[in-house]
Amino acid sequence: MNDEESLTELCKMIYDLDDIEKIKTKAKELLDRGVEPKRLIDVISHGLEEIGNRYESGEYFLSELIMGGIIGSEIINVLTPYLKSVETPRLGKVVIGTVKGDLHDIGKNLVVSMLRSSGFEVVDLGIDVPAQKFIDAVRKEEPEILAMSCLLTMAMDEMKRVIDELKRHSLRDKVKIIIGGRPTSLEFARRIGADAWGRDAVEAVKVAKTLLGR
């Protein structure tokens, strides 16, 4: 089986919720064979996207969604060591979190891994992060970039709330803001007053570098 076929099979194993150990072994095999981690990131995204579609159409239930989340997190654990690590982060500091009301963190964690392996120092505030915690972190950590993730349509307004709160505390000009996550867009980013939007973890790094002129 060539790399393309193996990647297609891995994607199917993910959305068919195959045995988790088999999935991890398959992912590791591909990485050991020299397949780019970025290719696996695409496969994870497509596999989970299909799980989401099946959930939406009623074919899968919450338990399957949860299983998909576990599989996604486990493959990221396999993948992270294959992203080259940077001893001394020098590109800048990023504070990141998933906004309040949202517990999704697989995509955010991929963004964190990619930023770290590209030379950024990252302070990860985790999931369900209230606006005040973002404000406190900007004050304490003095990052060049604040990054927010959101996967739920109903939690998107939280991103605007964080930006409004930064303005209210006269902190907005001290930090560049990047947002991302499935329901967001460049248009939405502009509308709420963010500086940039990234479609995926690879773009997150590009956008962060561009914002800082690196």
Determine, following the binding rule CB under 6 A, whether residue 153 of this chain makes contact with ligand B12: yes
Q: Which of 37, 107, 119, 143 binds ligand B12 (CB under 6 A)?
A: 107
Tell me which of 14, 75, 97, 105 binds ligand B12, using CB under 6 A: 105
The region of 15-23, 117-125, 129-137, 173-181 touching ligand B12 under the rule CB under 6 A is 173-181
Which residues, 6 or more positions from 201, have their beta carbon under 8 angstroms from its beta carbon? 41, 107, 110, 111, 113, 114
**Residue 112 near ligand B12 by CB under 6 A:** no
Residue nearer to ligand B12 on the CB measure, 90 or 154: 154
Q: Measured between alpha carbons, how far is 156 from 133 in angstroms, rounded to an integer?
A: 17
**Interface with ligand B12 includes 108 (CB under 6 A)?**
yes
Q: Residues touching ligand B12: how many (CB under 6 A)?
A: 42
Among 17, 106, 163, 194, binds ligand B12 (CB under 6 A): 106
- 69 lies in the site for ligand B12, by CB under 6 A: yes
Q: Which residues bind ligand B12 (CB under 6 A)?
A: 41, 44-45, 48-49, 51-52, 55-56, 62, 65-66, 68-69, 72-73, 101-108, 110-111, 147, 149, 151-154, 178-183, 198, 200-201, 204
